[in-house]
């Protein structure tokens, strides 16, 4: 099977683009100039707070903390709008990594000398920071993994293979990331379980009412995202958990797009498992975490065998450590975990509610600005009094391939957006497209970033790409 890699950047000559044509027809469209400003937003609207003065916005206040943002790309100021793929790192995180390797680099849990004791202390402190950040009841409910993908696989190959039986049902949505689908396909193949998928409603949001109707005593697990990395939709997770528990099902929450952007309280959600990645929350790559309720983790068998996860090893058998050590075989990503702890300190210092409130404003401004582009379709719900969406928009413009658009924006305007299927091929097929462009924001983005993305770059790119077509 041929696979396509998410967000492949193709180096193309300026102003000359290979266009994927429909064999049926060629369409020529004229694009008009347009502009949008904060004044177009309704004052006092709950989903669209008025723009803070530029000098006081959270984006302007935090940008100095991110060295990578202060550069030119292809002759233009870098405008980084690919935060759903990975976030940038503040100086505090970079220094924490540097300090570990310069001052106390050592293995953890295995030495009595100063360096090892210091590394162990900082590593376990990072675990406590994660625990406090999501309000787990105990830091032992936090398992460090390489990323959220590994965290989901850990649950699949331990709890899943231990508890899922033939004809049991695993309920997901068509909008899940590949990382939340493929492990459960493998479990279903091994166990004879059945995967069921909730489709979208008319607002292009997973149909929560349909999800509730699909729950039954056969449902053993619900795997669902908190925030969609394509649709920008935010699901009522607490309500979903209550309904799943009513039929005896467990719930695994993919929180990769929520933990970095809003207050997430696992005790309030009452989720059984929750996963997230460091690199999306201003921390280093190579580390993520699994939250699991203590009783579930204690009953799960090991995921990988080796050092650290054991209690005693004999020639004919071994006994295993208690969680979380049971699931952290081998030398962990020590520096990366410490860097994640520094990222949590940074985010907590800003305040997650403050970050969320600012991003709600950015989300509305981005959606309204993009909506003014002719012949555009933005996927997911429109923001309203009752619907708030994440600060990201996936979209397509008629007759323009998203990779052509992303390439032009990068090479001619220094604007970094994502193009591809965003590791959500089933969702794109459901939407009737093979790919989309995506602009995604974080708290260090500003209104000016959105303006530089929308005008004049989007107008120029659409006009130039279409004008490069050969006549029919």
Q: What is the pLDDT of residue 455?
A: 78
Q: Is position 243 annotated as part of the catalytic site? A: no
Q: What is the pLDDT of residue 456?
A: 66
What SS3 state is found at 117? helix
Catalytic residue among 243, 256, 282, 423: 423
CA within 13 Å, CB half, 1: 3
Close Cβ partners of 10 (under 8 Å, ≥ 6 residues apart)? 403, 407
Say whether the peptide bond before residue 135 is cis (omega within 30 degrees of 0).
Answer: no
Question: Domains along the chain?
Answer: 58-81+351-467 (3.90.1150.10), 91-349 (3.40.640.10)
Please tell me the distance from the alpha carbon of residue 355 to that of residue 358, in angstroms, as a whole number. Answer: 5
Q: Is-contact 255 274, C-beta < 8 A?
A: yes
28's tokens: 């020529």
Q: Is-contact 143 323, C-beta < 8 A?
A: yes
DSSP element (H, E) containing 419? strand 418-420
Pairing of strands 288-292, 142-145: antiparallel
Q: What is the pLDDT of residue 386?
A: 80
Number of H helices, E strands in the chain: 16, 17
DSSP element (H, E) containing 171? strand 169-173
Q: What is the pLDDT of residue 21?
A: 29
Pairing of strands 219-225, 169-173: parallel
Kindly list the averaged pLDDT for each block of 10 residues, start to end, along the chain of length 472: 35 31 30 30 35 72 98 96 98 98 96 96 98 98 98 98 98 98 98 98 97 98 98 98 98 98 98 98 98 98 96 97 97 98 98 97 96 95 87 96 95 96 98 98 98 78 61 48
Q: Is-contact 337 123, C-beta < 8 A?
A: yes
pTM summary value: 0.87
Q: What is the pLDDT of residue 384?
A: 84
Q: Is-contact 394 77, C-beta < 8 A?
A: no
């Amino acid at each position: 099977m041929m696979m396509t890699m998410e967000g492949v950047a193709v180096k193309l000559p300026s102003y000359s683009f290979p266009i994927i044509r429909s064999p049926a027809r060629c369409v020529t469209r004229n694009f008009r100039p347009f502009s949008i400003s904060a004044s177009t937003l309704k004052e006092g609207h709950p989903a669209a707070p008025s723009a803070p003065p530029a000098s006081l916005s959270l984006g302007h206040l935090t940008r100095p903390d991110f060295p990578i943002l202060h550069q030119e790309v292809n002759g233009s100021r870098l405008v980084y709008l690919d935060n759903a793929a990975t976030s940038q790192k503040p100086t505090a995180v970079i220094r924490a990594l540097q300090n570990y390797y310069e001052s106390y680099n050592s293995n953890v849990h295995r030495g009595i000398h100063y360096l090892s004791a210091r590394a162990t202390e900082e590593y376990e402190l990072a675990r406590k920071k994660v625990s406090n950040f999501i309000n787990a009841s105990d830091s032992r409910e936090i398992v460090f993994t390489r990323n959220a993908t590994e965290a989901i696989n850990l649950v699949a190959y331990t709890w899943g293979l231990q508890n899922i039986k033939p004809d049991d049902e695993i309920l997901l949505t068509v909008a899940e990331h590949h990382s939340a689908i493929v492990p459960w396909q493998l479990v279903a193949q091994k166990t004879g379980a059945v995967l069921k998928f909730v489709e979208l409603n008319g607002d292009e949001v997973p149909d929560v009412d349909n999800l509730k109707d699909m729950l039954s005593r056969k449902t053993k697990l619900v795997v669902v995202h908190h925030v969609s990395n394509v649709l920008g939709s935010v699901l009522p997770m607490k309500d979903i958990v209550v309904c799943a528990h009513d039929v005896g099902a467990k719930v695994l929450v993919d929180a990769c797009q929520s933990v970095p952007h809003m207050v997430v309280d696992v005790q309030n959600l009452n989720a059984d498992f929750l996963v997230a990645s460091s690199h999306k929350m201003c921390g280093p790559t190579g580390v993520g975490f699994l939250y699991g309720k203590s009783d579930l983790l204690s009953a799960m068998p090991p995921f990988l065998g080796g050092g650290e996860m054991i209690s005693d090893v004999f020639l004919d058998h071994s006994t295993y450590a208690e969680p979380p050590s049971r699931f952290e075989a081998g030398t962990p990503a020590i520096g990366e975990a410490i860097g994640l702890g520094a990222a949590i300190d940074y985010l907590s210092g800003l305040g997650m509610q403050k970050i969320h409130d600012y991003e709600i404003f950015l989300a509305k401004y981005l959606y309204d600005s993009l909506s003014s582009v002719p012949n555009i379709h933005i996927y997911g719900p429109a923001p309203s009094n009752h619907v708030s969406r994440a600060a990201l928009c996936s979209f397509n413009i008629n007759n323009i391939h998203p990779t052509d658009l992303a390439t032009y924006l990068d090479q001619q305007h220094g604007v970094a957006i994502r193009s591809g299927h965003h590791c959500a091929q089933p969702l794109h097929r459901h939407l009737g497209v093979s790919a989309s462009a995506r602009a995604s924001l974080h708290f260090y983005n500003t209104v000016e970033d959105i303006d530089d993305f929308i005008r004049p770059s989007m107008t120029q790119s659409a006009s130039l790409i279409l004008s490069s077509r050969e006549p029919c």
